[in-house]
Amino acid sequence: MVALRVLGIDPGLTRCGVGIVDVTSTRSATLVEVAVIRTPPDLPLEQRLLQVGLEIERMLLEHKPGAVAIERVFAQHNLRTVMGTAQISGVALHMAAKHGLAVGLHTPSEVKAALTGYGSADKKQVATMVARVLGLAQLPTPADASDALAIAICHAWRRGATVAAPGAVLTPAQQAWLAAERSTAKSAPKRRLAP
């Protein structure tokens, strides 16, 4: 069965979660690799960005994913945190483009809804669903690793390459997410072309 391989990235300057999963058309997912790239705060910024970029590129070259998914940067009260997140997102986007890969950007609430059926789920709920979907005996830790895997799974499910095959068994969260996607598609206004 053909699987879509996705590299998921939870961007962060001090800790950047990266995870690769294979997802089949029946929505079953398998862990390929997960890691947290850490850079020390006392290292010059350009060196920290380079370290993260080199590790992302290693994973791209070694595992050859078909797509990259990144958590969309959102406003936070801590400007320093959001700047580091944005800088790492830029590095990840650059590496994906360099390797000719399409990138999906997903908000935290989209990822939570896809995995748990609830857009405000907490990190433990997301980690629990990631472990269940991937068949892991333990929850992936730290949260950056779990989040990266959740982003990758969400992307594969949303991309449409994993539309449920006849007879596929979906989790309750997958069923809720599919129902919401279909409802959104039906309620979207139809665009008319000008004569």
Sheet architecture: strand order including 15-24: 29-38, 15-24, 3-10, 67-71, 103-106
Question: Which amino acid belongs to residue 145?
Answer: A
Backbone dihedral region of 80: left (phi > 0), alpha (psi from -120 to 50 degrees) or beta? alpha
Per-residue pLDDT of the chain (195 residues; tens, 9 = 90+): 678 999 999 999 999 999 999 999 888 999 999 999 999 999 999 999 999 999 999 999 999 999 999 999 776 667 777 888 999 999 999 999 999 999 999 999 999 999 999 989 999 999 999 999 999 999 999 999 999 999 999 999 988 544 444 444 555 555 555 565 556 555 555 444 444
In tens, the pLDDT along 93-141 reads 999 999 999 999 999 999 999 999 998 999 999 999 999 999 999 999 9
Question: Alpha-carbon distance 45 to 61, whole Å?
Answer: 24
Domain ranges of the chain: 3-187
Question: Alpha-carbon distance 98 to 60, whole Å?
Answer: 10
CA-based nearest residue to 113, from 180, 18, 193, 23? 180
Among the four given CATH numbers 3.90.1310.10, 3.30.420.10, 3.40.50.920, 3.30.70.600, the one describing domain 3-187? 3.30.420.10
Active site residues: 10, 71, 144
DSSP state of 16: E
